[in-house]
Amino acid sequence: MIAIVNYGSGNIHAISNIYKRLNIEHFISDDTNELRKASHLILPGVGAFDETMRILYSTGLKTFLDEMVLGEKKPIMGICVGMQLLAEGSDEGELEGFGWIKGRVRKFDASKLKAKPHLPHLGWNTVELKYQHPIFSDIEHDRGFYFLHSYYYDCSSADDILGTTDYGIAFSSAVNHENVFGMQFHPEKSHQNGINIFKNFSKI
Give yes or no for residue 115 having a pLDDT over 80. no
pLDDT at 187: 95
How many DSSP H helices and E strands does the chain contain?
6, 13
Measured CA to CA, the distance from residue 127 to residue 101 in angstroms comes to: 19
Annotation says 186 is catalytic: yes
Per-residue pLDDT tens digits for 82-109: 999 999 999 988 999 999 999 999 998 8
Q: Considering the candidates 80, 149, 155, 177, report the single residue annotated as catalytic.
A: 80
* Residue 50 and residue 94 in contact, taking contact as beta carbons nearer than 8 Å: yes
pTM listed for this prediction? 0.94
* Residue 76 and residue 66 in contact, taking contact as beta carbons nearer than 8 Å: no
So what's the architecture of 2-202 in CATH? 3-Layer(aba) Sandwich (3.40)
* Residue 46 and residue 80 in contact, taking contact as beta carbons nearer than 8 Å: yes
The helix/strand/coil state of 110 is helix
* Residue 149 and residue 121 in contact, taking contact as beta carbons nearer than 8 Å: yes
Question: Residue 195's closest CA among 148, 145, 161?
Answer: 145
Measure Cα distances from 29 to 61, 122, 140, 177 in Å: 11, 29, 32, 25
Annotation says 188 is catalytic: yes
Per-residue pLDDT tens digits for 126-177: 999 999 999 999 998 778 999 998 899 999 999 999 999 998 889 999 999 9
